[in-house]
Structure 1
Amino acid sequence: MKSLDRALLTCGLLIPFWLLTGVWLTAQAYPGYDHLQQAMSQLGATGAPTQDWSPLLNNFPLALLFVLFALGLARRWRTSKLAMLSAALILLHGLGSLGTGLFPCDQGCAPAEPSRSQQLHNLCGLVMFLSLTLASALWVRLGKRLAGSKALGWFSLVCLIAAVVTAVLMAQAAQSGQLFGLYQRLNYGVSVIWIAGLALCSLYPALANRFRIATT
């Protein structure tokens, strides 16, 4: 594997750590911020104390990492149309992350009459959820068929189910006003952990083969 391909795929491994570190650091500068109750988007919301630099630390770098990883995935599995489609979906996710940073949500992120920026923010967020969910669904099949790893297929399935379940819990929490931040973090956390797992198996085929042997 070429060094460029390794560098691009390694971006997928960095994503969970960047997300965790970026959100934690930003929240330190937001007095009274509650990770269990508040959405991550509130860190960059209009009027938030961290509005100006939250996208610079979170949305924009993550968007770049997703795009670079998508390019690496496309180069690694270029013989498969479905894998190329998954790479396109991950690239789309990166563009959605860029959009959520460019268009901040309104104060509180849940206004009765959302602004145009809030509407675009919500649209980009929906694109982010759908793109990674569909990408992980593709790898339920591609794990065994392309990477030769049943474990990757099962891992993708578990992450897919967890993403859907936590999305439902997020919707319920939005209505009740309780623990939205927790369910959002679980939802996105599952997705970026899946990205890291896919990056590992793409970088180290021998690792995927070991998982295959362990599950047969």
Structure 2
Amino acid sequence: MLAKISSAGAAVFAAATVIAGALYPGYSHQREAVSQLAATGSPGAPVMIVGFLALAAGTVAAGLALRRLLPAGAAGRTAGALMVVAGALLVVAGLARPACSDWIGACTAAERAGTLPLRHVVHNLVSPLVFVLLIAAVLTLARGLARNGARRLAWPSLAVGLVSCVTLAALVTGAVPAAPGLLQRLFLLVLFGWIVAVAPLAARARAAGMPDPGAALQTPVEVP
């Protein structure tokens, strides 16, 4: 059930992005951030806010599912806890609506001048924290998966964490000025896509022979 909630939350978020974008004349998926769809001037803001809340619920559900599926060792439980915290903070980021697009010159100038409302500042502080927590969760999850007998999923989780880390750095530094919106969507697809997919994959691995929690605790799987 938790895995289904996680998948549904991600699906609602993706649909909200498309619908809110269609309701916002002049919005560019290529150049603007997803959060701009929930900004104060966005006609599709109510739709996008629902999308953010759905993604938050899905992230929390994924974290709870992983804590249940990966009981051996602390890594799996820690990764799940990080996802739960990130999901809770995602609610804050979704409700703290930005006032303008961070990747537009006028907005950047207003930020430097300190003339933007508090909710915009809160959004910009909380959103990166959410991503950092999720990347840390995915990297920690690699050890948790291996520790619980799902070694074949450990390396993909590590790869997702490293790719997400590099992509987030590129977004923060503005390394792709021509298409930051597309880069952000790729980042979200890779990071949240793995978060949604990993719990069902781990469950299948257990069904195919993953040791039960008691056995896993007694006979640890060697971590590469």
Contact 2:3–2:196 (8 Å) recurs in 1: no
Give aligned pairs, total. 201
The one-letter code of the counterpart of 1:186 is L
1:116 counterpart (115, 118, 121): 118
Match of 2:59 among 66, 86, 89: 66
Aligned pair partner of 2:143 in 130, 141, 144: 141
Structure 1 window deviating more from structure 2 (10-19 vs 135-144): it is: 10-19
Q: 196-205 or 87-96, which moves further after superposition?
A: 196-205
TM-score if structure 1 supplies the norm length?
0.83
Name the Cα RMSD after superposition.
2.2
1:41–1:21 Cα change, 3 Å? same
Distance in 2 (CA, whole Å) between partners of 1:131 and 1:125 is: 10
Mind listing any 5+ residue stretches in structure 1 that lack a counterpart?
A: 1-6, 211-216
Within 2, Cα distance between the matches of 1:163 and 1:87? 18
Structure 2 letter corresponding to 1:135: A
Question: Aligned runs of 1:153-172 on 2, under 5 Å?
Answer: 153-172=154-173
The one-character-per-residue Cα deviations of 1:71-129 (angstroms, maximum 9, x if unpaired) are: 22222223432211111110111112101121111122344333211111012202211
Residue in 2 aligned with 1:4?
Answer: none
Partners of 1:70 and 1:91 within 8 A in 2: yes
Q: Cα distance, 1:51 vs. partner?
A: 2.4
Scaled by the length of structure 2, the TM-score of the pair is 0.80
For residues 171-190 of structure 1, the aligned pairs below 5 Å read: 171-173=172-174, 177-190=177-190
Corresponding residue number in structure 2 for 1:128: 130
Instruction: Say whether the 8 Å CA contact 1:9–1:73 is kept in structure 2.
Output: no
Question: Within the alignment, does 1:96 sit opposite 2:99 as a pair?
Answer: no
Q: 1:196 to 1:61 in 2, by over 3 A?
A: closer
Q: Secondary structure at the match of 1:53?
A: helix
Structure 1 residue 31 and structure 2 residue 25: aligned?
yes
CA distance in 2, matches of 1:207, 1:177: 46
Aligned partner of residue 204 in structure 1, secondary structure: helix
The percentage of counterpart residues that share the same residue type is 25
Q: Does 1:105 align with 2:105?
A: no
